[in-house]
Structure 1
Amino acid sequence: MNILQIRGEFRDNGPGTQSLYISRELIRRGHKVFAISSGGVMVEKFEQNGITHTQIPYIAYGKRNPLNILKSIFLLRKYFDKHTIDVVHAHNAATLYMAYLASRFLKDKEISFFHSCRGIELRKMFTWRNWIYKKYPATIFAVSQWTKEQLINIGVDSKKIIVTNNGVDTDKYDITKKEQFKKEIRDEYKIPYDSIVIGIVGALGSKGHDELIRAFSMIKDEFPDAYLLIVGGGEKLEEFKNLAIEKGISKRCVFTGLRMDSYKLHAAMDIFCLASYWGEMFPNVLLEAMAYANPLISTKLSGIPEIVTEDVGFLIEPKNTRELAEKLKILLKNDNLRAKLGRNAYSKLKSKYTISKIVDKIETAYLTK
């Protein structure tokens, strides 16, 4: 099949990386994959993997005025005329509709449409947007069971929804290289090799980096060999660095800034914590931590409880710093528990969340549409 992956922008985030992982796996299975976006840092990686990318600047989030939408539809129709596309897999709603409208101008050609949906609009002033899902001209790939239930609750036909979680490329997040990457990263940041490292990966904002800093400061004296490894960039970087200084943990709190090699950073960690309080749906970073057999601590938010079950880690309430500190203490005190939860996490990943298993579902949907 000829398959088009389309998104407003291919950024280095969940939808961007999943688009790339899905595309690579489809190519391995003999399909031809194309990509369209307004650009983004992931475009180079698409092209490095033999995926032809076409840039349409008008489909970017900030440029979707009526005139540019019409331009985009016209360019997409020309694209469909030139390429024999069988499947359009959109990774945001706006591009799905533009591609669908463009396809209506084709003669003697039917294209199947699919949309990977993270979740519905929850912000009160924007919930009116959710009507769009009820009229969707596509099969919806819901990223979690939670997302599927949210879609059903607003009136979407359950028969149009297939749960396809995020997946991890275990060739990249390779547990056999954990010790190699661990040494490389700990040497780079001068973290003692025998210390216990608590880590978090993600853009600094609502993912709970500040909660982790506060929680760690509450237990730092009890665990002098523990370190924090905070991976991510953003406007709050200096604010969080100052918070670490204020809480007296700056010498044991490593800030890496933005890194594009998170597969190495995860390997340097012993405990992974994602204390998000908003915006998560089915976080890739939890799955990536599981790929290195790391136990998890995260929040009771959206689809996270589907990942963080009691056999792989702990769930806490968002913004409950004291509860987070208590769960950290449990894992820091008990080497055997950390190892057991980590083994379970790795087994769960291999059985449910490899990109190969996710694409099994996606490919079946493509072929049976």
Structure 2
Amino acid sequence: MIIKSSDLETTLGSPSSTQTTRVLHLINGEHFAGAERVQDLLAMALPQFGYEAGFACVKADKFPKVRRSSSPLYELNMKNKFDLLCYRNIAKIICDENYKLIHAHTPRSLLIGSLAARATDCPLIYHVHSPAGRDSERGLKNWINTKVETWALSRVDRMICVSNSLMGYMESLGHPAVKLNVVSNGVAAIDDLPHRDAPGKNDVWTLGTMALFRPRKGVEVLLEALSILKNRGVKTHLRAVGQFETSEYESEVMNLVNRLGIADMITWTGFQTNVNEQIRKMDLFVLPSLYGEGLPMVVLESMANAVPVVASNVEGIPEAVRDNVDGLIFKPGDAKDLAAKVESMVGDSERWNSMSQSAYVRQRTCLSDISMAEGTSEVYSSLLN
């Protein structure tokens, strides 16, 4: 169900009679990347623990089109980043539809959510997906996001951090520990994976990466590593899944590809919705992020598909991927180290099989959508009780 702000007067009627407690998730909604997959998975898994999610999108675009959940969705698009009056529509939804909790997921939605919480006296939770102060290379934007987040957090009752690293970051900003909770991201476990063997030493190994490509994702480091592997005679091909944040950045990356002479070694797929299908086409998943990660969903999705991960030592990543157990960890920004880690795996079928099995088991036991929903529900219950 999708409701637009122009329809509010006629479509919001009597409160739901469901026995579950309703939680309104405030999200941007313009992308469908890691944080949005968290939101979608929570909506599907929370009912097991007595909670029903609804979504209010303040920048609706991809999320309403791509999501798998069927939760109520309200499109309340802000006219611009300073259009704060849409909090009134959110407050109306909360009152008319009997929502008991507000759960915000971005600095923008947190700002609106804090105003709606004041207007309705509804408890407010903020989901810290990544450090706002390290979101991009634009210092002014980071500073503004941090200031907005800090101001709005004064009204927050609880914060959910997706990793211990993020909780430490929030503590360093002066947020009280009593408000902080760690709930690791999770993805759906996959049963009956089709059997696969590691490629041989003389085969072409498919390296994969998946992201909303922007500078902090470090794709340049991966491209430089690909060039190094080519010069060493290591047979690899890169499958890059995702769209670019801007056309300007896409041009910069393509210019680097041409300078390195590796265009024939890369398949750019663009944005894809079939995440698991894409990951199963990869022999190793590579995440070369430079900074700004909480606990990347795509790492967990790779583990769920029994694909070993080679990832940078950034924030929450090592909390999921144990070095030399579930995958390999390399120095952020170091293309030579990344190339060396990939080369050490190529052709070593015994090592690949061991890491593949370990990653698969670890995701199922520690990093599932069910464990994420259970942890989130415990935060909700701590407020309502």
TM over 0.5: yes
Q: Give the aligned partner of residue 354 of structure 1.
A: 368
Q: Give the aligned partner of residue 116 of structure 1.
A: 127
Higher relative contact order (CA 8 A, sep 6+): 2
Give the Cα–Cα distance (whole angstroms) in 2 for the partners of residues 115 and 308 of structure 1: 25
2:100 is the counterpart of 1:86: yes
Do the aligned partners of residues 178 and 89 (structure 1) sit closer, same or farther apart at CA in structure 2, a change above 3 Å counting?
Answer: farther
Q: Give the aligned partner of residue 249 of structure 1.
A: 262
Give the Cα–Cα distance (whole angstroms) in 1 for the partners of residues 51 and 147 of structure 2: 37
Q: Give the aligned partner of residue 357 of structure 2.
A: 343
**SS state at 1:280 partner:** coil
2:68 is the counterpart of 1:44: no
Do the aligned partners of residues 134 and 17 (structure 1) sit closer, same or farther apart at CA in structure 2, a change above 3 Å counting?
Answer: closer
Do the aligned partners of residues 113 and 250 (structure 1) sit closer, same or farther apart at CA in structure 2, a change above 3 Å counting?
Answer: same
**Residue identity matched to 1:89:** H
Q: Give the aligned partner of residue 307 of structure 1.
A: 320
Do the aligned partners of residues 195 and 96 (structure 1) sit closer, same or farther apart at CA in structure 2, a change above 3 Å counting?
Answer: same
Q: Give the aligned partner of residue 205 of structure 2.
A: 196
Verify the 8 A CA contact 2:291 2:315 in the aligned structure 1.
no
- Post-superposition shift, 1:96? 3.1
Aligned pairs for 1:207-222 (under 5 A) are: 207-220=217-230, 222=232
- Post-superposition shift, 1:133? 6.6
Give the Cα–Cα distance (whole angstroms) in 2 for the partners of residues 318 and 365 of structure 1: 33
Q: Give the aligned partner of residue 186 of structure 1.
A: none
2:116 is the counterpart of 1:102: yes
- Post-superposition shift, 1:145? 0.4
- Per-residue deviation, residues 93-130 of structure 1 (Å, max 9, x unmatched): 34334334334444xxx533211012443255415456
Q: Give the aligned partner of residue 284 of structure 2.
A: 271
Do the aligned partners of residues 73 and 177 (structure 1) sit closer, same or farther apart at CA in structure 2, a change above 3 Å counting?
Answer: same
Verify the 8 A CA contact 2:206 2:282 in the aligned structure 1.
yes
2:309 is the counterpart of 1:288: no
**SS state at 1:176 partner:** coil
Q: Give the aligned partner of residue 55 of structure 2.
A: 35
Q: Give the aligned partner of residue 190 of structure 1.
A: none
Give the Cα–Cα distance (whole angstroms) in 2 for the partners of residues 128 and 111 of structure 1: 23
Do the aligned partners of residues 15 and 105 (structure 1) sit closer, same or farther apart at CA in structure 2, a change above 3 Å counting?
Answer: same
- Post-superposition shift, 1:262? 2.0
Give the unaligned 5+ runs of structure 2.
1-20, 198-202
**SS state at 1:168 partner:** coil
Verify the 8 A CA contact 2:102 2:117 in the aligned structure 1.
no
Give the Cα–Cα distance (whole angstroms) in 2 for the partners of residues 225 and 252 of structure 1: 9
Give the Cα–Cα distance (whole angstroms) in 1 for the partners of residues 292 and 230 of structure 2: 29
2:221 is the counterpart of 1:205: no
Q: Give the aligned partner of residue 22 of structure 2.
A: 2
Do the aligned partners of residues 82 and 134 (structure 1) sit closer, same or farther apart at CA in structure 2, a change above 3 Å counting?
Answer: closer
- Post-superposition shift, 1:146? 0.7
Q: Give the aligned partner of residue 132 of structure 1.
A: 151
Give the Cα–Cα distance (whole angstroms) in 2 for the partners of residues 167 and 10 of structure 1: 22
RMSD (Å), alpha carbons = 2.6
Q: Give the aligned partner of residue 186 of structure 2.
A: 167
